[in-house]
Amino acid sequence: MQMLLIALIAISIPALITTFQKEYNLSIAQSSIIPIIGTIGGFITNLIIATLSAKMGLKRLNLYFLSIGLIASTMLALANNIYFFLVGILLVGITTAFGLTNTSTIFAHLDIKYQNYGLFHAFFGIGGIFAPAIISYLLLKNIAYNYIYYFLMIAFTAFIAFVAFSDLIENRKYENIKLKKAFGIIKKRFVLPVLILISIQAGSEQGIVTWSGNLFNNVLNYSLESASMFLSVYWILFTLSRLLIQFVENKIGKLNTSKLSIILVLSSITLLLLTNNPLFFLLLAMGTAPVFPLMQKYTAQKLPEQEVGLFNGIAFAFASMGNVVITGSMGFVAEMNLKLSYMIPILGALIILAILFYLSKMKKTGMIKVSPKYIKKS
């Protein structure tokens, strides 16, 4: 449920990007600062979480992220100028990064039989379904978009109260990890390729979603309400795809499932650009959904338990970095040509495919092994 909450606040931003452009009189290139500010905040936050906050405990960190989410929702609900708004965007980025790292680490401490990462990440997709649908309804009825943030204020407050008085989340603590040791994990042969893959995948996924409103409104001539509904359907298919991950993974494995997903991404973007048919944007959701959770699970099951939280922090930091570079780049290119900006995710998908074949080669040669924890319980 916390993944759902994180998604609602995170995906409200791309769903409202065209509204923010009009309200604050921003061009597409100028509005690139919105995702960049959010992801820079998330990048810094994840580095701090990964290295300095282990002694605070998982429950306390959970309360911290929920509190920041409450402040972010309040600022966006009440924003009346660009500076107040951008601070709110920064806090949304911190909330998203902090929340994803914290909830993923809590999830990674469950017994192996409960670690269905497809289902876990599907709840982020469910938030992606609801956020654009709610925003589309508000815009259609000429109701101020601020009401989605009033709702989030109530939701974050409820979660804070629940977590504070519940013993559902254990306040698991570890020794703080020095920055040198934290980056030492990257030296493991399979970790850096996965981090690069995650960075490109997250950035491409964010960029595709962020600029979809402009694509449908400015190039394909759909209304803002229709663009929000397309985005909502995108997240429905995205979520369904994540719910099917476990089934497909059981049949052909994590790496082969990821390869098929990336091939679908390449095909869908190419056909979208050639035909202008929104159907291919919706098929794109089926391809983008599986890769991140599969590669997170792939890596977590090859690391000692005490390094999983560290990896999650670094992974989401790399994801934030990818968001800054790819989403920002797409925004600047889109100022000249929106369709051309979608060539950037195509290039990213080709790089990801090459990394997946490299990981497959390492697996065949025995250079990558599963953690003893998972061998024992499998």
Of the given ranges (113-117, 179-183, 216-220, 306-310), which has the lowest mean pLDDT?
A: 179-183
Of the given ranges (25-29, 47-51, 374-378), which has the lowest mean pLDDT?
A: 374-378
Instruction: Summarize pLDDT for 259-291 with one digit per residue, the tens.
Output: 999 999 999 999 999 998 888 998 999 999 899
| Percent share of the chain, pLDDT over 90 | 34
Mean pLDDT of 249-261: 92
pLDDT class of 306 with cuts at 50, 70, 90 = low
- Asked if pLDDT for residue 376 goes beyond 50, the answer is no
Mean pLDDT of 94-119: 81
pLDDT class of 157 with cuts at 50, 70, 90 = very high
Instruction: Report domain extents, the chain.
Output: 2-377
The answer to whether 114 touches 62, Cβ cutoff 8 Å, is no
Q: Which two tokens stand for residue 373?
A: 């924890």
Instruction: Summarize pLDDT for 325-335 with one digit per residue, the tens.
Output: 898 899 889 88
pLDDT at position 238 is 87
What is the three-class DSSP state of 211?
A: coil
Instruction: Summarize pLDDT for 9-26 with one digit per residue, the tens.
Output: 998 988 888 889 888 998
Q: E strands along 165-237, which residues?
A: none
pLDDT class of 130 with cuts at 50, 70, 90 = confident
- Asked if pLDDT for residue 378 goes beyond 50, the answer is no
pLDDT at position 377 is 44
Residue showing tokens 């049949």: 251
pLDDT at position 183 is 64
Distance CA 299, CA 268 (A): 27
pLDDT at position 372 is 47
The DSSP letter of residue 169 is: S
pLDDT at position 259 is 95
Instruction: Summarize pLDDT for 213-235 with one digit per residue, the tens.
Output: 888 888 888 887 788 788 888 88
Mean pLDDT of 343-366: 91
Distance CA 287, CA 179 (A): 35
N residues, the chain:
378
- Does domain 2-377 bear CATH number 1.10.150.530? no
pLDDT class of 179 with cuts at 50, 70, 90 = low
User: 3-state secondary structure string, 124-159?
Assistant: HHHHHHHHHHHHHHHHHCCCCCHHHHHHHHHHHHHH
CA nearest neighbour of 254 among 227, 291, 282, 204:
291
Residue showing tokens 């429950």: 59
The answer to whether 194 touches 288, Cβ cutoff 8 Å, is no
Exposure string over 19-29, b if 16+ CB within 10 A, otherwise e: bbbeeeebebe
Distance CA 47, CA 185 (A): 13
